[in-house]
Amino acid sequence: MTTAPAGGRLDAAALRARVADFVAAHDPATTDQSEFLAARFDAGLAWVHFPEGAGGLGAPRALQVVVDKEFARLGAPVPAGRERLVIGLGMAAPTILAFGTPEQRERFLKPLYTGEEVWCQLFSEPGAGSDLAALGTRAVRDGDAWVVNGQKVWTSGAHAARWGILIARTDPDVPKHRGITYFVCDMSDPGVDVRPLRQMTGEAEFNEVYLTDVRIPDAHRLGEVGDGWRVAQTTLMNERVSIGGHAEPREGGLIGVVADIWRDRPQARTPGMHDALLRLWVEAEAARLTKERLRQQLAIGQPGPEGSAAKLSFAELNQRISGLELELLGGEGLTYDDWTFRRPEGADFRSRVAGFHYLRSKGNSIEGGTSEILRNIIAERVLGLPGEVRVDKDVAWKDLPK
């Protein structure tokens, strides 16, 4: 067994040695996947920059990529159905790390990492989507718990979730950004009612969630009372990186599907389509490399507004590529394979038919922050342009027009 230093004294070579020792003791070919991931968490090799006991070693964040590559090289498993875990892994985990108590980290992080428990995000509401801070779901303190009433919408995967990250208004007498508190909601609690929202694709990956007198213990509050907007920003920044900054090989996304159609169907080619495909292919490759740079920046710090730019670019590019796919297929592209009502646990951006790609891609510019909101973030935080005029800045939430 290799003896390697811990914490900040770790370097890439020491971590590779730790991974090699771990895999030697837990053969991926014969070890149950859940057991393998649980042992990896216990060994501090889940997120090496997390503290010891929370899945990490307190190592520099930049070394996570070294660990991931070494595990991949040695054939280690990743959580099954990773797309259903994107909210837990990509959004809840970094928020719990930043604002959770030691007890919360101990309770939530390990089953989140292994995939034993799925998470959803209870943020958007019918009257508070783009302007999330206008949310009206109320949480009222009652002893050592909070009583929550309200409605959430566009909640991906709520039908499969064990836990939800929830923001609710706890003080209506202060301006809207200051009266919000952040909670972890048990989706199996009485009063939580999840209803499917059937999309134009025929699927119901999204949900409405009604909350009626749901009791959330104060021990499941993340951050201080009234500071939920600041906590939510950590979630939102990580969400945009999760959606727009995921790793892909060259032609790994929808552009690969369209490029294959071009190669297989010479009869569909026209000079105009050739020009359109070439332009989109170059843009897709530029976006892929930009995402790689984003992930490298993330490895050395916290996600910034670059994630908003990546998510905005992903949404618009995906919609244009899916449009070209329909054009290449002609009449065949107008057929649809199956309108059967289904409840997938995650988005499917690559399989199925061209019609599905086209319809599903319309949601890309809404989910995870609308393109309009992302443009505002880029204008203000990247370009330094003046912010939008906010007449409600100092007005108590209860006095805002509803």
- Residue 310's pLDDT is 83
Q: Looking at the structure, do residues 238 and 362 belong to the same domain, yes or no?
A: yes
Residue with tokens 């505002």: 376
The last residue of one of the domains, among 114, 147, 162, is 114
Q: Looking at the structure, do residues 339 and 377 belong to the same domain, yes or no?
A: yes
Q: Looking at the structure, do residues 359 and 266 belong to the same domain, yes or no?
A: yes
Lowest mean pLDDT among 10-24, 236-250, 316-330: 236-250
Domain membership flag for residue 168 = yes
The last residue of one of the domains, among 44, 79, 114, is 114
Q: Give per-residue pLDDT as tens, 55-110.
A: 999 998 888 889 989 999 998 877 666 667 889 998 999 999 999 999 999 999 99
Q: Looking at the structure, do residues 236 and 353 belong to the same domain, yes or no?
A: yes
Lowest mean pLDDT among 180-184, 238-242, 289-293: 238-242
Q: Give per-residue pLDDT as tens, 162-173.
A: 999 999 999 999
Beta bridge partners of 115: none
Q: What is the CATH number of the domain that holds 319?
A: 1.20.140.10
User: Is 6's pLDDT higher than 60?
Assistant: no
Both tokens of 213, joined, read: 């007198």
Q: What is the mean pLDDT of residues 105-125?
A: 95
Q: Looking at the structure, do residues 367 and 240 belong to the same domain, yes or no?
A: yes
User: Is 347's pLDDT higher than 80?
Assistant: no
Report which of 174, 155, 142, 75 is spatially closest to residue 343, judged by C-alpha positions. 155
CA atoms of 211 and 123, how far apart (whole Å): 12
Q: Looking at the structure, do residues 265 and 367 belong to the same domain, yes or no?
A: yes
- Residue 47's pLDDT is 92
Q: Looking at the structure, do residues 247 and 359 belong to the same domain, yes or no?
A: yes
Domain membership flag for residue 361 = yes
CA atoms of 56 and 39, how far apart (whole Å): 12
User: Is 1's pLDDT higher than 50?
Assistant: no
Both tokens of 158, joined, read: 């709520």
* Residues in Cβ contact with 29 at an 8 Å cutoff, skipping those fewer than 6 apart: 75
The last residue of one of the domains, among 69, 85, 114, is 114
Q: Looking at the structure, do residues 183 and 299 belong to the same domain, yes or no?
A: no
- Residue 64's pLDDT is 87
Q: Which of 239, 292, 327, 388 is catalytic?
A: 239
Q: What is the CATH number of the domain that holds 17?
A: 1.10.540.10
- Measured at the CA of 100, the angle between CA 124 and CA 312, to 5 degrees, comes to 40
Q: Looking at the structure, do residues 244 and 370 belong to the same domain, yes or no?
A: yes
Q: What is the CATH number of the domain that holds 147?
A: 2.40.110.10
> What is the 8-class DSSP label of residue 224?
S
Domain membership flag for residue 393 = no
Percentage of residues of the chain with pLDDT beyond 70: 93
DSSP-derived secondary structure for 231-290: HHHHHHHHHHHHHHS----TT-SHHHHHHHHHHH-GGG--HHHHHHHHHHHHHHHHHHHH
The rounded mean pLDDT for the chain is 89
Domain membership flag for residue 377 = yes
Domain membership flag for residue 287 = yes
Q: Looking at the structure, do residues 198 and 237 belong to the same domain, yes or no?
A: no
Domain membership flag for residue 60 = yes
Q: Looking at the structure, do residues 247 and 379 belong to the same domain, yes or no?
A: yes
Q: Looking at the structure, do residues 193 and 147 belong to the same domain, yes or no?
A: yes
Residue 165: domain span: 119-227
Is 239 part of the annotated catalytic residue set?
yes
CA atoms of 18 and 5, how far apart (whole Å): 10
Report which of 31, 35, 20, 3 is spatially closest to residue 74, judged by C-alpha positions. 20
Q: Structural domain tally of the chain?
A: 3
Domain membership flag for residue 399 = no
Domain membership flag for residue 180 = yes
Residue with tokens 């989140």: 112
